[in-house]
Chains A and B, each alone.
Chain A
């Protein structure tokens, strides 16, 4: 009898745990839509192109922040992807060498590294010497955050290729560089592309690394690589802390935009593969 009661309680318990785990996601999505959609509907496309309204007066738009997010993500990819992919190749090609193993471990550690510290680091080496916040500083911080994800995915994609292809290619007398770049990279392209997109989805939503590097800019569109730049997550963070009601509304609208961008990148990747790491 007692066993049966325990059994029932157990099933009830894990059902409740599952519901509690998932429920917040729906609540968040619903809250963002309910609060953000009216803002988007009221302003229409102008919300995506206008600049932020003055405190307490209307909504304006988040154009500069959207441009900023795209510029920062693009620059970060430019800086981070080549290094990340080559690092991934290195740890896949030399898994048994000391450096290869150490690289793998370091990448795993850097994936879990607090991103605020990356921001602080870039502030110290770049923002202070340059004397101002800038798009390049923000992009560098994002590139450092992005690299470990892309490298780990690249490594896994290359490791999954059956040995026989590699041996076949070597048997043709091709050099190692040709084997890797011409043959293995081609076969692993889906896995590598997944890593690249995961990295992009990750940094497009990051706030902490940008706090003391990008500086934020919501009235001026792109002003130059060495000038402060905005980003959607940074804008939301700044506006939430303001006491003005209209700023909170803009923040919700921006959250909806950010959520849609994230889902547009993330969902197709997730639906096309079995497992993701973020």
Chain B
């Protein structure tokens, strides 16, 4: 029998596919002029020569560097926090507070990101500058990581810390769910061996390693794509510097910052679409990998 219902629904749900494919096409086509002009130098150089009617040249390496740098910093902070939080909430919190803690992190995961942005710019950055960056710079500036003078505080570190705060609840929700699903016999088993709580947790956390990997990947995808909060604290400077305290750009903050006046230049819109394409590809790879790991583990 012909399924008329399916034939009715099919065009509607193919709209979602259509949008996705159209998006990819638009990014590819809009990036073409800059690829024809510069080839892959758009991704491998750090130049930003915007001249009206003159010789333009764009290289967004600093933004790619900044996106990866800030997201890695964010994950280094967020990963231990989210594992610790997940273990604490599942194993050690009295039932009464458990629900409250989970609701609080759900609020954090959904909170409009601009609120993180304004708080980051006006509250977090001054705190980090005065209590973290300045002391470290004063005493340890010979270490490359701390070698940039923190005058404004807008930096990779500020962006990384803010992103960490934003993605911890998200990563922790994935890890928490997996940790909760560990079969009861495993839990009873490890304690029956006479292990301490620390040793038992170590074994149990090892058991959910794939979920932790998936949480990390998906959190990285979120951090890399975040725009407004990051652009308010990262400093928005074309810069490739090893120091945490240096200002920089990320792909999304570059787009947010430059796209508004890009159209008076001939190649800048195309250059920004090309950087968007890089973000598109990075985001797609990371998220697909994350979802695959999660799915395979769930059905294993």
Contacts and interface: CB of A to CB of B under 8 A. Distances in A.
Contacts of A137: none
B23 A207 contact: no
Contacts of B105: 21-22
Interface in A1-49: 3-4, 6-7, 9-11, 13-18, 20-22, 24-25, 27-28, 31-32, 35
A17 B26 contact: no
B112 interface: yes
B248 interface: no
A99 B23 CA distance: 19
Contacts of A258: 112, 114-115
Give chain B's interface residue range (CB within 8 Å of chain A).
Answer: 35 or more
Contacts of A262: 110-112
Nearest to B91: A14
A27 B119 contact: yes
Nearest to A28: B119
A110 interface: yes
B97 to A, nearest CB: 10
B239 interface: no
Interface string B79-118: 0111111011100100000000101111111111111111
B106 A278 contact: yes
27 contacts: A7-B196, A14-B84, A17-B83, A17-B84, A18-B89, A21-B172, A32-B115, A93-B5, A112-B218, A112-B222, A117-B276, A120-B27, A120-B272, A120-B273, A123-B259, A124-B26, A124-B30, A176-B5, A177-B4, A177-B8, A204-B112, A207-B227, A207-B228, A211-B228, A241-B232, A258-B112, A259-B112
Interface of A: 3-4, 6-7, 9-11, 13-18, 20-22, 24-25, 27-28, 31-32, 35, 82-83, 86-87, 89-91, 93-94, 99, 102-103, 105-110, 112-118, 120-121, 123-125, 144, 147-148, 151, 175-177, 180, 198, 201-202, 204-208, 211-212, 233, 236-237, 240-241, 248, 251-252, 255, 258-259, 262-263, 266-267, 270-271, 276, 278
CB-based closest 6 A-B pairs: A17-B84, A205-B112, A114-B225, A10-B198, A278-B110, A208-B227
